[in-house]
């Protein structure tokens, strides 16, 4: 008689499709033990596939159901689930695609998958209060260059060598899918969650580099220096950040105390 | 009307009426209105994250409905070490939502760090009783409260099981003081798949430990000309399950009852009509007891 530990190892071998003998521990009345065990094997595979398909809907649509299922099969072999929380199973899919598809015409799918994972993460990131543009206008003009902006925890910044945002947008809803030129060059994407839901915004290279520096905690002045953002682009970039509800807090330099009013107060 | 009003209903106990599982297909209905159900059940793992629409909605609904947190990923019957991080997140959800009931499954689900994300059955043996009881006790200690353990569906029978499912659950209750969430559909599915008399199992159950019941639909599948039932939670509660439910009420009295529907989720009205049927049976049960 198998002890509980040996039994779970034997059962697990059957679930993985490794060599096993279900008849040794499961009864075969009416239906063979192996056929009964296969129901669990199919269910485990299906649950895994469905979790991946829910997160990577655009990747799936781009490659079709059959190839997606194949990719998931190889992914699951390389990265079996390590969590009882199904939301976690797709975490390493972009990394897997990056190596599995390296050198193939499909290698760009890794970057699309990274965008979809960012969207998934942004959807469940911690809530944060949102700062309004008025918070910045309350800072003395001479001190604005030293201001730091704390961005919302849901913010994810992605730089892709192919137009992943264009692909992502082209594959939303039920309308006809426009053809996307994958040679159209890189795209820089800001993903975050506002009160209206997850937002995706494309950015120019310098604007993107500016937001990366701000997200890292640099002052506005340092972020401009680092990113090479043209001065005339500063106001629109800041306005977009605030209007998109991507700023959680305006942190003025120590010598320039903040005005008391400055937060719209609703979490995103 | 919902079981509680604007006074809020954190903590407390599930009302002995019918509730439904809160699913994303019905978020809009619960955002804009207060559908008439006695309580709501959610999968604990869907509320592991602090932010986003789901936690905000449940925070609001929590003020109007009793809530049951139903875990599907802890798998306390696994011999591998209890997943401490998973348990920590369950505990955080319990602190945030102050549910009226917390439940997990009498199952295993991971070995050597690999999770199968399924509710895998345990053999009904004394060893499994001792192991599951010790793990459930650990979970109860970590959460600082009693939890309910649900019987899972079975597609196979372990050769070396020595207890019936009812005896197994009763023994776990005796060992660790947990309660039972009796899934009547699972009981019926198992009786067909494995071949036993479900009324006998009900006889063995500790009636006063059954604190919640699940009702759901299942799927028929033929393998080699033989029918096996698949617990897919994707259809109305079948008549044989309603009949078994009546026997459970006879034995256990009026118990909070959930209509569980997870796949091909229909419009809310369908769930509410199933809940109304359960409510009328609960009402009749109370009337008989009075």
Q: Does residue A265 form part of some domain? A: yes
Q: Does residue A171 form part of some domain? A: yes
Please tell me if residue A39 touches chain B, with a CB cutoff of 8 Å.
yes
Q: Does residue A65 form part of some domain? A: yes
Residue in A1, A2, A3, A4 to test binding to B, most B beta-carbons within 10 Å: A4
CB within 8 Å: A26 and B108: no
Q: Phi first, then psi: what are they for B276, rounded to 5°?
A: -65, -40
Give yes or no for a contact between B117 and B52, defined as CB atoms under 8 angstroms apart: no
Please tell me if residue A153 touches chain B, with a CB cutoff of 8 Å.
yes
B275: Cβ–Cβ under 8 A, 6 or more apart, which residues?
A: B18, B19, B20, B37, B38, B259
CB within 8 Å: A47 and B118: yes
pLDDT(A262) > 70: no
Mean pLDDT value across chain B = 94
Residue A255 binned pLDDT confidence (cut-offs 50, 70, 90): low
Distance between CA atoms of residues B179 and B247, nearest Å: 19
Judge if A100 and A3 occupy the same domain: yes
Residue-range domain boundaries for chain B = 18-289
The pLDDT of residue A259 is 52
Average pLDDT over residues A39-50: 96
What digits encode the pLDDT tens for the residues A66-93? 999 999 999 999 999 999 999 999 999 9
Distance between CA atoms of residues B122 and B168, nearest Å: 10
CB within 8 Å: A124 and B195: no
The pLDDT of residue A68 is 98
The pLDDT of residue B2 is 55
CB within 8 Å: A84 and B48: no
Residue in B79, B156, B172 to test binding to A, most A beta-carbons within 10 Å: B156
Q: Phi first, then psi: what are they for A191, rounded to 5°?
A: -120, 135
What digits encode the pLDDT tens for the residues A85-142? 999 999 999 999 999 999 999 999 999 999 999 999 999 999 999 999 999 888 888 8
Judge if A136 and A99 occupy the same domain: no
Residues of B in contact with A127 (CB under 8 A): 50-52, 55-56
Residue B11 binned pLDDT confidence (cut-offs 50, 70, 90): low
Residue B9 binned pLDDT confidence (cut-offs 50, 70, 90): low
Tell me which chain A residue has its CA closest to the CA of residue B78: A8
Please tell me if residue A54 touches chain B, with a CB cutoff of 8 Å.
no
Q: Does residue A120 form part of some domain? A: no
Q: Which of B83, B114, B127 sits opposite A12 (nearest CB)?
A: B114
Mean pLDDT value across chain A = 93
Greatest extent of chain B over all pairs of C-alpha atoms, in Å: 57
What digits encode the pLDDT tens for the residues B131-186? 999 999 999 999 999 999 999 999 999 999 999 999 999 999 999 999 999 999 99
What digits encode the pLDDT tens for the residues A175-187? 888 888 999 999 9
Judge if A181 and A57 occupy the same domain: no
Average pLDDT over residues A14-38: 93
pLDDT(A265) > 80: no
Q: Which of A4, A33, A85 sits opposite B156 (nearest CB)?
A: A33
Q: How many CA atoms lie within 13 A of B185 on its CB side?
A: 23
Residue A258 binned pLDDT confidence (cut-offs 50, 70, 90): low
Residue in B113, B115, B263 to test binding to A, most A beta-carbons within 10 Å: B115
Residue in B117, B121, B155 to test binding to A, most A beta-carbons within 10 Å: B117
Distance between CA atoms of residues B85 and B131, nearest Å: 20
Q: Does residue A118 form part of some domain? A: no
The pLDDT of residue A256 is 60
Judge if A166 and A92 occupy the same domain: no
Judge if A15 and A54 occupy the same domain: yes
Q: Which A-chain residues 181-240 have CB contacts (< 8 A) with chain B?
A: 193, 197
Q: What is the pTM (predicted TM-score) of this model? A: 0.92
Residue A257 binned pLDDT confidence (cut-offs 50, 70, 90): low
What digits encode the pLDDT tens for the residues B234-270? 999 999 999 999 999 999 999 999 999 999 999 999 9
Helices B126-143 & B84-97 angle (0-180, nearest 10): 50
Q: Does residue A114 form part of some domain? A: no
Judge if A134 and A215 occupy the same domain: yes
Greatest extent of chain A over all pairs of C-alpha atoms, in Å: 84
Domain region containing A131: 126-268
Q: Of B205, B10, B4, which Cα lies nearest the Cα of B100?
A: B10
The pLDDT of residue B4 is 45
The 10 Å Cβ neighbour count of residue B159 is 15
Please tell me if residue A40 touches chain B, with a CB cutoff of 8 Å.
yes
Judge if A100 and A186 occupy the same domain: no
Judge if A265 and A141 occupy the same domain: yes
Residues of B in contact with A3 (CB under 8 A): 127
Q: Name the more confident of A266 and B189.
A: B189
Give yes or no for a contact between A199 and A155, defined as CB atoms under 8 angstroms apart: no
β-bridge partners, A202:
A189
Distance between CA atoms of residues A116 and A56, nearest Å: 6
β-bridge partners, A208:
none
Distance between CA atoms of residues B22 and B1, nearest Å: 16
Q: Which long-range CB contacts under 8 A does B238-246 form with residues at least 24 apart?
A: B238/B188, B240/B188, B241/B184, B241/B185, B241/B188, B241/B215, B241/B216, B241/B217, B242/B215, B242/B277, B242/B281, B244/B184, B244/B187, B244/B188, B244/B198, B244/B199, B244/B202, B245/B184, B245/B213, B245/B215, B245/B278, B245/B281, B246/B281
CA dihedral sign of residues B60, B61, B67, B71? negative
Lowest-pLDDT range of A140-144, A189-193, B5-9: B5-9
Distance between CA atoms of residues B127 and B125, nearest Å: 5
Residues in chain B: 290
Q: Which of B114, B157, B224 sits opposite A26 (nearest CB)?
A: B157
Q: Which of B80, B110, B156 sits opposite A36 (nearest CB)?
A: B156
Distance between CA atoms of residues B234 and B263, nearest Å: 5
DSSP for chain B, written as a single string: --SS-TT---SS---SSEEEE--GGGHHHHHH---S-SEEEEEGGGG-SSSSHHHHHHHHHTTTSEEEEE-SS--TT-SSPP-HHHHHHHHHHHHHH--SEEEEES-EEEETTEEEEEEEPPP-SHHHHHHHHHHHHHHHHHHTS--EEEPPP-SS-BTT--S-HHHHHHHHHHHH--EEEEEHHHHHHHIIIII--HHHHHHHS-GGGEEEEEE---EEEEETTEEEEE----SPPPHHHHHHHHHHHHHH-S--EEE---SS---HHHHHHHHHHHHHHHHHHHHHH-
Lowest-pLDDT range of A157-166, A232-241, A253-262: A253-262
Residue B5 binned pLDDT confidence (cut-offs 50, 70, 90): very low
CB within 8 Å: B123 and A4: yes
Distance between CA atoms of residues B275 and B21, nearest Å: 11
Distance between CA atoms of residues B181 and B209, nearest Å: 9
Question: Residue A235 class from Cβ within 10 Å (0-12 exposed, 13-18 middle, 19+ buried)?
Answer: exposed
Judge if A159 and A61 occupy the same domain: no
Structurally, how many domains does chain A consist of?
A: 2
Give the class (CATH, top level) of B18-289. alpha beta
A183: Cβ–Cβ under 8 A, 6 or more apart, which residues?
A: none
Judge if A184 and A142 occupy the same domain: yes
B149: Cβ–Cβ under 8 A, 6 or more apart, which residues?
A: B76, B103, B104, B105, B106, B132, B136, B169, B172, B178, B179, B180, B181
| DSSP code, position A131 | B
Give yes or no for a contact between B282 and B18, defined as CB atoms under 8 angstroms apart: yes
Give yes or no for a contact between B286 and B18, defined as CB atoms under 8 angstroms apart: no
Q: Does residue A262 form part of some domain? A: yes
Q: Which of A78, A107, A136 finishes a domain?
A: A107
The 10 Å Cβ neighbour count of residue B89 is 22
């Amino acid at each position: 008689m198998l002890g509980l530990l040996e039994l779970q190892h034997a059962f697990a071998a059957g679930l993985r499709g490794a060599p096993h003998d279900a008849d040794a521990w499961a009864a075969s009345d009416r239906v063979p033990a192996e056929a009964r065990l296969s129901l669990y094997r199919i269910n485990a595979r299906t649950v895994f596939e469905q979790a991946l398909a829910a997160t990577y809907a655009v990747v799936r649509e781009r490659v079709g159901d059959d190839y997606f299922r194949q990719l998931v099969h190889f992914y699951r072999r390389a990265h079996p689930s390590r969590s009882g929380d199904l939301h976690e199973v797709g975490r390493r899919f972009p990394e897997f695609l990056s190596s599995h598809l390296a050198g193939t015409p499909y290698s760009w799918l890794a970057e699309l998958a990274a965008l979809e994972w960012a969207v998934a993460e942004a959807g469940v990131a911690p809530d944060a209060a949102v700062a309004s543009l008025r918070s910045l206008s309350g800072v003395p003009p001479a001190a604005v260059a030293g201001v730091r902006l704390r961005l919302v925890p849901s913010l994810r910044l992605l730089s892709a060598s192919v137009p992943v945002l264009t692909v992502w947008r082209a594959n939303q809803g039920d309308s006809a899918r426009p053809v996307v030129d994958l040679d159209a060059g890189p795209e820089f994407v800001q993903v975050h969650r506002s009160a209206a839901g997850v937002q995706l915004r494309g950015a120019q290279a310098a604007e993107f580099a500016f937001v990366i520096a701000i997200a890292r905690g640099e002052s506005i002045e340092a972020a401009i220096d680092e990113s090479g953002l043209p001065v005339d682009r500063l106001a629109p970039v800041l306005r977009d950040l605030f209007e998109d509800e991507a700023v959680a807090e305006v942190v003025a330099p120590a010598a320039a105390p903040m005005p008391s009013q400055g937060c719209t107060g609703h979490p995103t | 009307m919902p079981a509680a009003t604007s006074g809020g209903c954190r903590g407390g106990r599930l009302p002995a009426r019918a509730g439904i599982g809160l699913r994303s297909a019905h978020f809009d209905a619960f955002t804009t209105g207060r559908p008439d159900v006695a309580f709501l059940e959610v999968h604990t793992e869907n509320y592991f994250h602090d932010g986003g629409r789901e936690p905000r909605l449940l925070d609001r609904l929590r003020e109007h409905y009793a809530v049951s947190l139903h875990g599907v990923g802890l798998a306390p019957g696994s011999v591998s070490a209890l997943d401490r991080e998973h348990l920590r997140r369950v505990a955080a959800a319990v602190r945030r939502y102050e549910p009226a009931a917390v439940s997990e499954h009498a199952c295993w689900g991971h070995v050597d760090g690999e999770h199968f994300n399924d509710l895998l059955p345990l053999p009904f043996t004394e060893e499994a009783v001792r192991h599951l009881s010790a793990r459930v006790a650990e979970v109860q200690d970590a959460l600082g409260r009693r939890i309910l353990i649900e019987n899972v569906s079975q597609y196979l029978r372990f050769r070396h099981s020595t207890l019936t499912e009812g005896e197994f659950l009763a023994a776990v209750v005796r060992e660790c003081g947990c309660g039972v969430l009796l899934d009547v559909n699972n009981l019926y599915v198992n009786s067909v798949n494995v071949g036993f008399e479900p009324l006998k199992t009900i006889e063995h159950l500790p009636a006063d430990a059954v604190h919640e019941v699940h009702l759901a639909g299942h799927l028929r599948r033929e393998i080699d000309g033989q029918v096996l039932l698949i617990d897919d939670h994707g259809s109305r509660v079948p008549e044989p399950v309603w009949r078994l439910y009546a026997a459970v009420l006879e034995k256990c009295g009026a118990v909070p009852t959930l209509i569980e529907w997870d796949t091909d989720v229909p419009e809310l009205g369908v769930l509410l009509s199933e809940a109304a049927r359960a409510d009328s049976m609960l009402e009749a049960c109370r009337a008989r007891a009075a």
